[in-house]
Structures are given as C-alpha cells and as structure tokens.
Chains A and B, each alone.
Chain A
C-alpha cells in the first residue's frame, strides 16, 4: 500500500472529479461532501508523502511497471512532497470557503476544482518532460473554466487574454520539448540530464535554444516581467476561492524552473551549466520593481493582492537566480509563506467586499461593516505578514532571502527587495485605513459572514504565526531540500540504476 501512495495525489482528485461529474445539477450537499472529503484526504496523503520523503530517500512510481527511461514515472523527493502538502493545505482553505455559496454560482465548481488539483499535483510529481506538458494542460484547462465560473464581463475579458496567452505558451512548450527530444533523444528528465552531460559540442546550440524556450514558457506560468501582464486582471476578477487556489499556479512555474534547471542543467551539464541564471536573476529584479509600482498604483483591494503575488514571484525568482543551496532554501521557506498568505488575502478581500455592499473591494470610502473589527484584525495580520514586518513569517522569509545574497548580489537585491516591501507596506496601510476607518456615518452594511468563510481565511492566515513558531523544523526541511536539489546525481541514480556509472 505504501509504495502506491505516490500515485494517490493524482488518482484521488481524478476519482473525486468523476464522482462530481455524475451529479451536476442540484444536490449541493452531496457535491460539497465529496469535494471537501477528497481534499482533506489529499491533505492526509500529502502529510504521509512528506514523512516518506523527509528522510531524504527518493522514491518513484513506475506507471504500468515500465521502468525509466522508457516508461512514465512519478518521482517523489523532498521538493515535490513539500509542494504537494502546500497545495493540499491551500486547497482545504479554498474549498471550504467556496462551500459558503461561491460554488453555486456556476455549474460543476467542485469537479473543476478537483481536476485543477489533479493537474497541479501531477505537475509536481512527474519525472518526464512531456508529462509535465500534459499536466500543465490539465491544470490550465481546469483553470480556464474556473476563471469563468460565475460569468460576467470582467471575467470574460480577462479570460480571453489568459487563455490566448497560455495557448501560445503551450505551443512554445511543445516546440521546446520537441527540440530537446530531437537533440537528446529522451524525454525523461533524469535521462536527459545524463545525455546533456555527454552532449556533442555541435548540439549545444540546439539544446540551449530548447532550454531557453522552456524558460519562456515557465516564465509565462510564473509571471515574470515581460510575461506577467495577464496576471493582475485575471486574478482580480476570478472568484475568490479560485483566486486563492491560483496562488499556487505561479508557483508551479517557479517549481518547474527550479526542477528543470537544477536537474537537467545542473552542475554536471558542462558548457550548459546555469544557462538560465543571468536571465532569471535580472528579470526577477525587474519583476520586483514593476510589481512594487503596481502595488502602489492599485486602486482595488483584489488588484493589490494580485500585485503582491507578483512581488512574491520576483522575490522567489531572485532566489533561483542566486543559485546557491542557501538561496534555494530561503526561497522555499518564502514560497510556503507567500502562497498561503496571498491565498488567504484573496479570500479576505472577498469577505470585505461582501460586507461593504456597493463599494465592494474598491479602496474608497464606504459604509461601515457589520463584522468590521474581526475583518480588520485578520487584515492586519495578513498585511503585516505579506509586507514582511516582524513578528510574522514574511519578515523571517525576507531575512533569509537577504541573508542568502552574496557579494555583488546584495547590491541589487537588498535595495530592491526592501523598497518593494516598503511600497507594499504603504499600499496596504493606505488600503486598510481607507477600508476600515474612513467610512460614512450611517447604516451598517452587510450580513454576517458564514462560518465556512471564516474558517477558510483563518486556516490560511494562521500560517503567518505558525511558520514563525515552527521556523526551526521548516527551515531545516527546506535546507535539506536545497541540498537534495544541489545533488541531482542521487535522483538520477535512483531512477536509472544502470546509468549510475556514467555520472
């Protein structure tokens, strides 16, 4: 049973999605029960997998018992286990929040939600470049439909951009995969790492082209500078639980960059080692600067949170660009923090919007809220955490990032990161004081929010104090993960025992 556990994060949402397809109209209770149960089970499975991977052993699951490099494998190491757990935690918050009524605004929300999870989990587990593409498509198709959930002009307009850009990105992904297959003759990432290390010189140009094209594709998913313009509008117009789940989507891009460039183009790749590094480093800094300006310019709370997602993308990419185990460890800690907190903030923005009636999430004077105090307190926690002020997790994560910068990198990263933190702080305090303090005298607006919604937000925002309280174990885990990523030979030897001598 235990050796089959790896396939569960893919199979469980698939089965749940099919069960939910069976009954599309009515029976809300049934759908909610199935969906929440499946998500909680996924959380338990993810915890089990994390315990399995924490020892440092890399396990894999050969589907149909076809061994790598010919068959399709799911690979579980510390990084993928961590990402699975993060997805499951985020999904529990989002799905419970959705049960408050967001799921009834369109058809089959829960089914699509489960399939989105299927795609995300698959992308984290797969050890094969083409299957990465397939799982990307699964998660994208579910995300297109989820983004449109509930309809409305703004959503459709944002969706058109999102869908067209991602379709073009998919074409590019396939071309890159094709080039890499043509040049190396394999699609398995571990096998490709070996082939790249022994690459004849005349094929280096071809592989470089393929590798950089992949970077463009992953950059589009992760929303780095020239490719991020679809993100703010799409995230701001998506339904709240969907936007919260989308907080992990940019991280899928970050994960893919981290995985592909540490495994295939790692230390043993000869002339192709670290070919992405200068691109990622400078673009991440540019992303940070642009996101800081966007945060200051946002006039709507949801748009503000969307730009905060971009700030986190810039910070995370800078961690990849520094290319040291210490930086990767810091980036992983920051990744856990930022995914959960921005997810929570999307949910919170929706709740604030619901209570303010007509004013919605626009940062303007509005009527006082029924549960204003409780919302304000949650907003305070979330804002402090996301802006990176002590005592919450953001400060810790940013300190780790700053600490990981070496020499010349400090000169660039420190001012940019600190200035964007300042920009976030200014924007958030301005938003908070307008939303909660500057209100018309008059009748209090809004009806009390449901318990599901409070649970979703508190579940996600409680990561802020918890990540600080458990900083020791969490950062030792991320350090171990970074070390594991820095030595891809272990993974290669696990997957391909015969090729072990070549390394």
Chain B
C-alpha cells in the first residue's frame, strides 16, 4: 500500500508542477488543484499510514494519528477557497485582457 500511496502522491505532484508551469491560466489552475491534492495526501501520510486503526483513542487497539486528519481537513477547506478565488480571477483576467495567457499577452508564435 505504501508504494502505491507514494506513487500516487508523486505522480500528482509531478503533473501538478508541470501544469503550473504552463503559459495559460486554465492549465495553471488545474495544476494548482492537483498540487493541493498531492499536498493533502502527503500531509495525511506524514502521521504514518495505519490500517484498521481506531479513529479515536481506544483502549487496547492502536489508533490512527488524529493530527494529520485535522491538518488535512483545514488544508482542504483553505485549498477550496483558494481554488475558487483563482478560478474567478482567471476568468476576470480572460475578460479584461482578451486572452488567457498568464502574462496577459498573446505569444508571437501562437
């Protein structure tokens, strides 16, 4: 499971980074979203991956670290707000500048 988890996080991060470096706003927004998913997964794994762990402290059995869950929850909420903002901003930039390039200028080549 660990290998699969690590690979998922890695692929998400790599795709997110690649898209964030693109020149148009839509891929950039998608890239940021992927990056935030990757970060959430990563945060979650940082408490140690446990299967069958109780969600709350219980006697006898082991329990999952609750802190990363709280962190991920906060990060998801913030991440959603930020994504919503950047989508609106990208739309506004598109309508004000007449194109969707992040610099607001059309490339000569295109």
Contact = CB atoms under 8 A, between A and B. Distances in A.
Interface of A: 130, 134, 137, 141, 144, 148, 151, 153, 156-157, 159-161, 163-164, 167-168, 170-171, 174-175, 177-179, 181-182, 187
B43 A171 contact: no
A130 B74 contact: yes
B42 interface: yes
Contact of B89 (A137, A160, A168, A177): A160
Contact of A160 (B25, B47, B71, B74): B25
> What 6 A-B pairs have minimum CB-CB distances, sorted nearest first?
A182-B46, A178-B46, A157-B104, A178-B43, A174-B39, A171-B35
Contact of A179 (B25, B46, B75): B46
A100 to B, nearest CB: 26
A156 B35 CA distance: 23
A168 to B, nearest CB: 6
| Most A CB within 10 A of own CB, among B74, B81, B103 | B74
Given A167-B36, A167-B82, A168-B20, 10 more contacts: A134-B78, A161-B102, A163-B89, A171-B16, A174-B39, A174-B71, A175-B43, A178-B42, A178-B71, A182-B48
A246 to B, nearest CB: 18
Contacts of B35: 168, 171
Contact of A137 (B67, B82, B97): B82
A164 B86 contact: yes
Interface string B27-54: 0100010011011001101111000000
Contact of A163 (B38, B48, B68, B86): B86
Interface residues of B, number: 34
Contacts of A157: 93, 97, 103-104
A352 to B, nearest CB: 27
B59 interface: no
Contacts of B82: 137, 141, 167, 170
A280 to B, nearest CB: 25
A66 B75 CA distance: 22
B89 A159 contact: yes
Nearest to A131: B74
Given A156-B92, A175-B42, A164 B28 contact: yes
A48 B92 CA distance: 44
B71 A130 contact: yes
B75 A174 contact: yes
Given A141-B81, A153-B96, A164-B102, A181 B46 contact: yes
Contacts of B25: 160
A153 B36 CA distance: 28
Which secondary structure characterizes the binding site on chain B? helix
A181 B104 contact: no
10 contacts: A144-B89, A160-B102, A163-B86, A163-B89, A170-B78, A177-B71, A178-B68, A178-B71, A181-B46, A182-B45
A176 to B, nearest CB: 10
B91 to A, nearest CB: 10
A174 B40 CA distance: 8
A181 B46 CA distance: 7
B8 to A, nearest CB: 15
B5 interface: no
Contact of A156 (B43, B47, B97): B97
| Most B CB within 10 A of own CB, among A130, A134, A174 | A174
Contacts of A175: 39, 42-43
Nearest to B48: A182
A159 B97 CA distance: 13
Nearest to A182: B46
B39 A171 contact: yes
A108 B85 CA distance: 16
Contacts of A163: 85-86, 89
Contacts of B89: 144, 148, 156, 159-160, 163
B67 A181 contact: yes
| Most A CB within 10 A of own CB, among B43, B48, B81, B90 | B43
A171 B36 contact: yes
Interface string B82-110: 10011001101100110000111000000
A256 B90 CA distance: 30
Contacts of B104: 153, 156-157, 160
Contacts of B102: 160-161, 164
Contacts of A178: 39, 42-43, 46, 68, 71
A167 B30 CA distance: 12
A134 B71 CA distance: 10
Contacts of B74: 130, 134
A434 B46 CA distance: 58
